Every structure is written in structure tokens, then in C-alpha cells.
Amino acid sequence: MFRRKAYDLLKKWKKESNGTTAILIEGARRVGKSTVAENFAQNEYEDYILIDFSTADDAVKRNFENIGDPDTFFRNLFVLTGKSLEKRKGLIIFDEIQFYPKARQAIKQLVKDGRFDYIETGSLISISSNVKDILIPSEEESIKMHPMDFEEFLWANGNAGMMEVIRSAFDTRTPLGIDIHRKIMQTFRTYMAVGGMPQAVAAYVDGKNYREIDRIKQSILRLYGNDLKKYGTQNGEKADAIFRTLPEQLMNRNSIFKYSGVEQEARYRTYGSAVDFLNESMVVNSCVNVSAPEIALEMYAKRDRFKMFMGDTGLLVSAILKNGGNPDKMYRSLVIDNLGINQGMIFENMVAQMLVANGNDLFFHEFEYSPEADSGNKKYEIDFLTVREKRIVPIEVKSSGYKSHKSFDYFKEKYKLKMNNRYIVYTKDLEVEDDILFIPIYMTSCI
């Protein structure tokens, strides 16, 4: 069991809720939802019952017909599971609840009964087929769980101090110095290569080679494809097709998603539902174009134009490298910055992943501007936009140490915005220049 930030959120929920709500841990498969829920149960309660609805027998499911009679429901549950709990000292985990949505609806009566606390875990939990016949309980809180972030990766490797150094440098706008920066950058490149899926991280911590780590990630990619195809024949097949084309999509100019990259005649009207379906699965992170850089970004979203990133950059690396070559050699090349492919898409995917892990929705902006009065308009782009303290924060990503920022300058000239900060994410040490903060990619989580 690795230390996960979701554990702290569960502790906060338990203290503040005190039995008045259940909590749902939502996320893609294999990000560690079940593990953190059971570890929490072991450490924070006298005892617990875990019901895994992916394997639960029919008798356990039929018992939910007794939900209107709590005494009968719990009597049967204790007999069927071979365990009993003391009131207000036990936890019941409904694992993989998407396989039996009626249990999710039962949360209302169970919380009202008040005997125990409840944690639900689920993947593809909001897919329409999972919620069409049930009433979502208002007594349910939820948290989203993502792949392990860089700090969690550091914790897994016994390095609790590196992130504190990074945050301190960011907060004080102080460069780390070439030696410290190089050390952190190499560690971060290792994180990009391995990724944040707990199985892959565990293999790395255990000293497995990159070939073995890649095999684990390839199996997760196949699992995702199979999962997507299970949920709704038409949308599932289309979502799987989109997912498989993501490496090629990210190689496109500006990484803009092109339906023709999936199928020659594909259009938004025929694939839009599959895109929504894939976003709901949480195996991808979509970055949506906005028509204007206003603080209410969602109001200006143009959802038919977007970039789509993989939820875990380590999985993207495996998807890129799966068709040939020696995994050990290619992974090591990525770690030492000697990989002979376009690393821009890997860096941009990583920044997207880090922003989402920090609770940000992803937006970008395209605009036209004439740098000189006698020249025609040219097209420019801001890679990511977010909002801090009611001000727009533009973010540009560079997979090298280059510091050019024409798009930033023209963006500022065109819109005359009051901006909180402007960030260029790159590979060198922190630097401040022309009211732009240049930060190494590992500081993205500090934004």
C-alpha cells in the first residue's frame, strides 16, 4: 500500500461527516481506489465488510430487496459475509459499484439508518447505463482519484523531502541551482516513463526492469480497451477506436483532435457521444477550446474542438513504444533525454495530467493577431488556461529549454487582461523574466 492523497480526503470525510454521508471514490480502473478504501478501513475502523460487486454472488445482491427493513438486511448480510460489525465502529465498502447500481441507490436508506459508515468505489460510474434506473442519493459525497502524482511517486520511493524543496523554490521564486535541478529532472523523467499506475510504480520500486514495467502497462491498456467496448456496443467500440489513436492524435499540429484520424468519414455528430463516453471513463483528460479568455471559461467552451490526452503519461509512453524496439533501451533514452521521437506530446500530456490532479478543468485558446499594422493576421495558441484569484492564468509548454514567448506577448497585447501570472513550463531551472515565470515541468503541480 502506497501513501495516497485520497487517504487524507477519506480521513477528512470521516471526521466531518460523522456518518451523515457516504463517500464515492471515482476513477479509472487500476488507479488504486479499492486498495486505498480497504487500507483506510483496516486502519481507521475496528472492522469492515467489503462487497466486490464484480464477483458478488446473487444472494448478496438479492439481499438489497430487504433494504426497507434494515434489521433483516444486516442480519442477512452478516450471515452471507461471515462477519458482523458493531454499531458506529464498522465500515462497509461497496467495491466496483458500477456492476450493481441498486446498491448505490440503497445508500440513502443505509445512511439514514446510521449504524455504519460507507465507502463506494467505481469506474465508469456515470455511464448512462449505470444510472438510468436509479436515483442518485443526495447523501453521497464523491472524490475523484487519479493515477499517482509526482509527489506520491516520490513517497513510494522513500523520498519525502524532494517535493518540499520544489515547493519552497516555487513559492520564493528561487532557482534550485544546476545540480539540484538536474537531479530532480532526472527523477521526474523516470516518473514520466514509469507513470502513475500503482502496479507499474510497485514494479519500479521492486527493482523490475523497464521491459517488465512496460508489460504491466500494456496489460492495463488492453484492459481499458476491453472495458470501453463492454459499455454500449456503438459508443464503446467508437470510444475504444478513439483511445487507440491518441498517440497519433497528439502528434498532430497543436495536438488538436481530428475525427478523420479515427475514421475517414467520422464527424462530431457521429462521434461526439463516444468522446463524452470516453471522458466519463476518466482514462483520458480532454482540453477544450474557448472562444474568449474570460474567467468563466466554461461559458466559452467550444466542445467540438479539443485536445485529448491520456490520463496517465506512463501509459502514453507504452502506447507510443508498443510497436517495436527494446523497451529497456527506449525507456532509458527518455529518462536521459535522448529519445528520438517528438517529446512535445509527452510533456504536454504530463502537464495536462498534473493540472487535472490539482483539480483544474482543461482549456486552451486559439486567437488571431497581427504583430505589425501592415501584416496580416496570424494564428497563435495558448496551450492551457486556468483561473486564479479571478484572473486568467495562461500556461505554455515547451519540451526543451527554449524561452521564446511570442504567443504570450501577442495574447497580452490583444486582450489587455489583468493576469495573475504567466507560466512557461520547460526543462530548465526556474527563472523570472519579463513578468513571465519560467518553471521546470516538475513545478507544474505548484501552479
Q: What's the pLDDT score for residue 265?
A: 80
Higher-scoring residue by pLDDT: 133, 92:
92
pLDDT surpasses 90 at 420: no
Average confidence score pLDDT of the chain: 92
Please tell me the least confidently modeled range out of 54-58, 99-103, 125-129, 431-435: 125-129
pLDDT at 339 over 60: no
- Cα–Cα distance, 243 to 434 (Å, whole number): 40
Confidence (pLDDT) at 396 = 95
Kindly indicate the confidence band of residue 358, based on its pLDDT and cuts at 50, 70 and 90.
very high
CA distance 190 to 380: 32
Give the pLDDT confidence score for residue 303 in this predicted structure: 92
The answer to whether the CB of 301 falls within 8 A of the CB of 290 is yes
SS3 of 126-185: CCHHHHCCCCCCCCEEEEECCCCCHHHHHHHCCCCCHHHHHHHHHHHCCCCCHHHHHHHH
pLDDT at 17: 97
Say yes or no to pLDDT of 340 above 70. no
At 155-214, the pLDDT tens digits run: 999 999 999 999 999 999 999 999 999 999 999 999 999 999 999 999 999 999 999 999
Chain CA centroid to CA 100, Å: 24
Looking at residue 99, its pLDDT comes to 92
**What's the CA gap between 330 and 445, in Å, rounded?**
26
Q: Indicate the domain borders of the chain.
A: 5-144, 160-446
Q: Quick one: pLDDT at residue 343?
A: 80
* More confident call, 404 vs 219: 219
Q: What architecture does CATH give domain 5-144?
A: 3-Layer(aba) Sandwich (3.40)
**DSSP for residue 419:** B
Residue 61, C-alpha cell as written in the block:
445482491
Find the range with the poorest average confidence among 160-174, 339-353, 357-371, 407-421. Answer: 339-353
> Per DSSP, what are the bridge partners of residue 92?
49, 118
**Does the pLDDT value for residue 445 go beyond 80?**
yes
Q: Where are the beta strands (DSSP E) in 17-139?
A: 22-26, 47-52, 90-95, 117-122
Closest CA to 292 of 348, 363, 356: 363
State the cell numbers at 374. 501592415
Sign of CA dihedral 28, 34, 36, 41: positive
pLDDT of residue 232: 60
Q: Does the pLDDT of residue 326 top 80, yes or no? A: no
